[in-house]
Amino acid sequence: MKMMKELTRRVLLLFMGLTVAAQAEVTKAVWGDTSDGTPVEIYTLKSKTLEVRATSYGARIVSIRSPDRDGKMADVVLGYDSLQNYLDDRTHVGTVVGRFGNRIANGSFSIDGKTYHIPLNNGRNALHGGTIGFDRYVWTGHQVPGGVEFTLVSPDGDMGFPGTLTAKVRYTLRNDELRIDYFATTDKPTVVNLTNHSYFNLSGDDRGNILGEVVMLNADRFTPVNSELIPTGEQTAVKGTALDFRHEMAIGSRINDADEQLRLAGGYDHNFILNGAAGQLKLAARVYNPTSGRVLTVRTTEPGVQFYSGNHLDGTFVGRYKTKYVIHSGFCLETQHFPDSPNEPSFPTTLLKLGQELHSTTTFTFTARK
């Protein structure tokens, strides 16, 4: 019995040691101040294979450095060297968008018979929470094992949304996997749709466009959009369309096809309905870069993912290495509930009530093919 207890103790100690070893090292520094003097922090997470930097300004991912098939490191998300660049940015690069990520038609929705109005910032619609979304706030950060957790309290009436919302976003790094956990609670019914808006380029963020990246999306259906990129309410099969990524396909192979959905969006900017149960961690996407060998695998508990091919990047913003971010410089995989869900009863609900807690998880795993 004593020998068994001692063996069990040693196994537990070994397991604990391996767990600690797998966790990332985390460091924190002051990165600068906003225009009103609010200090902004930046956190660096390092594992044996990845380095991730995240800032309290917008709870953004600033950098993800991963190795290619030869072990050479490069940044695989678009980003800037200085805080000032992020203060000036209007592409939502790397940020957590909210209170409601993606579009709300006419910037309005109703809860329990009362209509709420969000400032319009995308034609006649509200995008990513309105004119001052969560990307424009300084979140409160604190270190957690293997990562960092950012917290933001959005007051009742913020951008027209009801309820005081407490949102938390936790980034943790373990080996080759970056995990994002989203949490939210409210003191009155509201709508919430949190996601991360990183632009990926698996060649490296200064090395050309993403049209050669090979994508697989675990989705048999998507939500078609109208001319304002608002879902029509339909849930349409991807089979036979230019949006069929059930098998690996280069982004650029069909992006110029005479497909009405591609014409409306100027490329890919669509919500894909993921196969599998919402609330369970499941495969959402896999992207392979033939040049670098890098592979990005995305898993999520969310019911959908917005695949965006960087159609509106126009060279206005200059990133690291003085790289102009032009059309198709990066792609986004925004795990989410569906756009305009508050106005589409057939879509999975984004309503959060008093006493409930929103919790969703997305993981980004970076590997390489030889």
CB within 8 Å of 299: residues ≥ 6 apart: 281, 282, 283, 284, 362, 363, 365
Expressed as residue numbers, the domain containing 268 is 30-368
Residue 11 lies in a domain: no
Parallel/antiparallel/unpaired status of strands 108-111 and 114-117: antiparallel
Residue 135 lies in a domain: yes
Token pair listed for 326: 């032009």
Residue 164 lies in a domain: yes
Residue 173 has pLDDT above 60, yes or no: yes
- What single-letter DSSP state applies at residue 134? G
Residue 83 lies in a domain: yes
CB 95 within 8 A of CB 197: yes
CB within 8 Å of 242: residues ≥ 6 apart: 254, 255, 257, 259, 261, 262
Cβ atoms within 10 A of the Cβ of 150, count? Answer: 26
Q: What percent of the chain has pLDDT over 70?
A: 94
Name the helix (H) or strand (E) containing 75.
strand 73-75
| CA distances, 313 to each of 33, 103, 245, 263, 322 (Å) | 27, 18, 23, 16, 15
How far is it, in rounded angstroms, from Cα 268 to Cα 306? 9
Q: Which residues are catalytic, by number?
A: 197, 334
What's the predicted TM-score (pTM) here? 0.93
pLDDT digits (tens, 9 = 90+) for 94-148: 999 999 999 999 999 999 999 999 999 999 999 999 999 999 999 999 999 999 9
Name the helix (H) or strand (E) containing 6.
helix 2-22
How far is it, in rounded angstroms, from Cα 351 to Cα 174? 32
Token pair listed for 103: 């579009």
Please state whether 315 falls in left (phi above 0), alpha (psi between -120 and 50) or beta.
Answer: left
Residue 23 lies in a domain: no
Residue 1 lies in a domain: no
Residue 14 lies in a domain: no
Position 5 scores a pLDDT of 58
CATH number for the domain that contains residue 361: 2.70.98.10
Please report which confidence band the pLDDT of residue 321 belongs to, taking 50, 70 and 90 as the band edges.
Answer: confident
In the chain, the amino acid numbered 190 is T
Q: Report the domain count for the chain.
A: 1
In the chain, the amino acid numbered 262 is L
For range 151-160, the mean pLDDT: 98
Residue 282 has pLDDT above 60, yes or no: yes
**By CB neighbour count within 10 A (0-12 exposed, 13-18 middle, 19+ buried), where does 87 fall?**
middle
CB 100 within 8 A of CB 191: yes
Residue 12 lies in a domain: no
